[in-house]
Amino acid sequence: MQHLQKLVDQIDLAPNASIKLDALKSYFQSVPPEDAAWALFFLEERKLCTKVGTRLLKELITSETGLPAEMIDGSNAKIHDLPETLALMLPWNGRSCELSLSTLIIQFVEPLAGFAAQAKRETIRCAWKTLSTPERILFNKLLVGKFQIGIAREMVHKALGEIGGISPGVISHRLASNWPPDAGTFQRLIQADPENDLAIETYPLHEAMNLEGRPETLGKIENWVTEWALRGVRAQLTRRKDAIALWSKKGITLKNNFPELLNLSQLLPTGTVMDGVILLPLKRHRDIANLPKKPSQKNASPSEIHAHETPVFVVHDLLEYQGNDIRQCSFTQRRTLLEQLIQDWKQQWLICRSNLSTGNVNPDCMQQEMFSMSEIIGMESTGQVPMEPVRASHQISADSWQGLRQCLLNGPDDRTRGMILKQKNASYPVQEHDTPWWQWKPAPNTVHLVLVSALRNTPGHMESLSEYHFGALSGQEWPCVAKTSIVVREEDRREMDKWILSNTLRKQGPLRHVQPQMIFELTFDQVVDAPRSHSQIKLTNARVIRHAIELNLENTVSLGQLLSKSPSIFDSTEADVRLD
């Protein structure tokens, strides 16, 4: 346990990511594999069933310290972390526990679920006695299943990958299954398996660059293909040998987020890698009446969304065909292959469906044993198999740039953020001098909002503010809807800074709250859902255009107005998808 505690300490103190990474690596390398496996289990945010609730822990603290429940709640109100509050209420103990993490878990945590209340109390009391105060904080977090210590999973994957000499993507892929936390698992996890690892190798995905000027500068429109820039989860699907994997842009496996997509991808031929965007289903019932209460995270859980509709993988490029890297081929060539591939796939899929619906399954169309019949049938029985869950991106046809411009003005719906322009004879952009994809965005929207707070730059630079937050009225409050550090006019920034520093109502760490009073004109691209923020929405790509000195508070836009403009889609970043 003391090693894990030391790791948490080091992570706390680490000034930058590379030092955090080193700390993680040296932890995983220095502890026995069974301890590493358990630490990983919790870092992966998995929960152990202990059947220990916070009530039991509170009762225990009361009996240990004589502090009544109101004292516990009153203290917790200050730090908002019950496992920590409870641990701090016991007299300080600086002596570290000699037991290893796995021993501690086997002796004190795993058996809890089977114990009666009295035995649970005795066991926990006993564990507390052997642990130091910082270790008790961790232990309590393990008990109630909230082990958040400020380490991103990506970083954990990276550390393990570096230890094993394998890519973090492979680690993330291996961790996505339901593995038992034991020594063998951990050893296998960091062991390279060249043959199979190769099967899930990914390509770096290209991100379109913003087209700042006019598209006319790109030359003849005939040389270009135009597609919608879709909002959704950018993903890469790799289908090689037995392995089918779906990856986020950052190389995190999306296996558990889109199981049905993976199932359907069994019908693709092996040796296929595709680049595309997963469109998430529309969030149908946005409950405006409940605002601005935060929705529970459950509202956004993939399972509930899937009950309405399933996600669609819109493929916009083909990177590997029949086991060959085709990125050097021209876009036109790749596109032809892609269309053929999808056409074939669709055929298979249709056969599969019709066979399933009549109950006659032709095993020939199931290319792999991984193909799970029950899941396809299960979907069929609810009658909600979507049309074409995998499809090629739509191409916009226009004879002239002017015509395309018209499309951009009329065209974009809630699910797009402009257009992507790709040169027909260009290879898939990999290096800097490759012709990039260009993203052409519609002109931004304009809105008037009220300054509500600002973020101080770095500790020490008291005088400089780095980010400004703007709110829209909702009831008596001004929940923040836009954050930006871009202020177009330098004099506005100076004025704002001066005003904020001399009119700070309340400081919250680096945040300076001010009286909602100063009104600004901002531009933004879109209103998107932000289920975790107080306002539930946010304006993307906001910029401060000017101080709207002539307006008063009634002229600003309200949260309700923004909501009615808001496209009701579940616009998801990678972080949001990983809610599961």
Partner 1 sequence: MLILSRPDGLYCQKGDFYIDPSRGVDRAVITHAHADHARRGSKHYLSSTASAPLLKRRLGRKISIQSLEYGVSVNIQGVKVSLHPAGHILGSSQVRLEYGGEIWVVSGDYKTCKDTTCTPFEPVACHTFISECTFGLPIFRWPSPEHEWQRILQWWQDNRDTDRTSVLKVYSLGKAQRVLQALKDVGSEILVHPSIMDLVPAYETQGIVFPPMQIADAKSVRKSKGKALVLTPTCNSMEAWMDEPESWQMMEISGWMQVRSPRRKRHLSCGFIVSDHADWDGLNQSIHATGASQVLLTHGDGILLMNWLKRKGLETRILKPDNTKKELGKN
**Residues binding partner 1 (CB under 8 A):** 12-13, 15-16, 19, 65, 67-68, 70-71, 74-75, 78-81, 84-85, 88-92, 94, 133-134, 137, 148-150, 458-461, 508-511
- Give CA–CA dist 234/275, Å, rounded: 8
Q: Residue 296 or 360: which CB sits closer to partner 1?
A: 296
Q: Return all residues near 486 (Cβ < 8 A) that are at least 6 apart.
A: 542, 543, 544
* 25 phi-psi bin (left φ>0, alpha ψ -120 to 50, beta other): alpha
- Give CA–CA dist 480/459, Å, rounded: 23
To partner 1, the closest distance from the beta carbon of 243 in angstroms equals 36
- Give CA–CA dist 249/203, Å, rounded: 10
To partner 1, the closest distance from the beta carbon of 128 in angstroms equals 14
Tell how strand 416-423 and strand 395-396 pair up. Answer: unpaired
What are the start-end ranges of the H helices in 44-165? 54-65, 69-79, 82-89, 101-104, 117-130, 133-144, 153-164
At residue 576, what are phi and psi to the nearest 5 degrees?
Answer: -70, -35
Q: Residue 452 or 562: which CB sits closer to partner 1?
A: 452
Structure tokens at 24: 């993680």
Q: Residue 16 or 118: which CB sits closer to partner 1?
A: 16
- Give CA–CA dist 258/280, Å, rounded: 10
Q: Of the candidates 394, 390, 393, 358, which has an alpha carbon nearest to the alpha carbon of residue 377?
A: 358
To partner 1, the closest distance from the beta carbon of 513 in angstroms equals 13
- Give CA–CA dist 230/275, Å, rounded: 13
Q: For the chain, first and last CA: distance in Å?
A: 28
Q: Residue 68 or 323: which CB sits closer to partner 1?
A: 68
Q: Residue 53 or 68: which CB sits closer to partner 1?
A: 68
Q: Residue 77 or 289: which CB sits closer to partner 1?
A: 77
User: How far, in whole angstroms, is CA 432 from its chain's centroid?
Assistant: 27
Q: Residue 12 or 216: which CB sits closer to partner 1?
A: 12
Q: Residue 153 or 353: which CB sits closer to partner 1?
A: 153
DSSP 213: S
Q: Residue 2 or 427: which CB sits closer to partner 1?
A: 2
Q: Is the dihedral of CA 304, 305, 306, 308 positive or negative?
A: positive
To partner 1, the closest distance from the beta carbon of 88 in angstroms equals 4
Strands across the sheet containing 395-396? 209-210, 438-440, 416-423, 224-230, 395-396
To partner 1, the closest distance from the beta carbon of 160 in angstroms equals 22
